[in-house]
Structures are given as structure tokens and as C-alpha cells.
Amino acid sequence: MKAKIYISFKNGILDPQGQTVGKALSAIGVKNISSVKMGKYIEMEFSGVSKEEASKITDESCRKLLANPNTETYSYEVIE
């Protein structure tokens, strides 16, 4: 059982890394990108829990530690 967690900045939060990467992509000629956002990707593995329990643990982990509710949003998928 594995959770894939995606954390990204809320809209309106300054993301200079994303902006810089976006500019760099334009500079090397990559076209048609309207915005780049940088975030975090976290994987967690579980043993001996149901999918439902794994989702619960993942959500709690995101709320308590992995994401800052002031600046970030999170989403995740649990796969067996």
C-alpha cells in the first residue's frame, strides 16, 4: 500500500522557483507554457492497513506536518 502525496502552493502565494523555472523554459525555446508551479512530492508506504486506514493516516500526516495550511494545499492518492 502506498500513498502519493502532492503539495503545492495556494494560488496567490509567491512561487519564485516556479516562476524562474518557467522563465528558463521560455529562454530555451519551450513554447506554450502559461505557468509553472513548483511543489513537493512525497511517497509513503504502509503495511498491514486497509486502503481506508491508509487514506486516513495520509490525510492526518498532511494536515499535521506535511503541508502548511497557510500557504499550501495538498492532494493524494492511495494505491494498493
Partner 1 sequence: MKFVVVVFPGSNCDHDAYYALKHNLDVSVDFVWHKETDLKKYDAIVIPGGFSYGDYLRTGAIARFSPIMDAVIKEAKKGKPVFGICNGFQILIESGLLPGALIVNKGVRFLSQDVTIEVVNNNSIFTKIFKIGQKLQMPIAHKQGNFIADQETLHLLEDEDRIIFSYSDERTGNPNGSMKNIAGIVNKSRNVLGMMPHPERAAESILGSNDGIEIFKSMLT
Contact residue for partner 1 among 11, 14, 32, 52 (CB under 8 A): 14
Query: Would you give the DSSP letter of residue 69?
Result: T
Contact residue for partner 1 among 26, 50, 68, 75 (CB under 8 A): 68
In whole angstroms, give the CA distance from residue 79 to residue 77.
6
Contact residue for partner 1 among 5, 62, 66, 78 (CB under 8 A): 66
Residues whose CB is less than 8 angstroms from the CB of residue 74 and which lie 6 or more positions away in sequence, other chains included: 5, 6, 7, 8, 62, 66, 67
Interface with partner 1 by CB under 8 A: which residues? Answer: 13-14, 16-17, 20, 40, 65-66, 68, 70-71
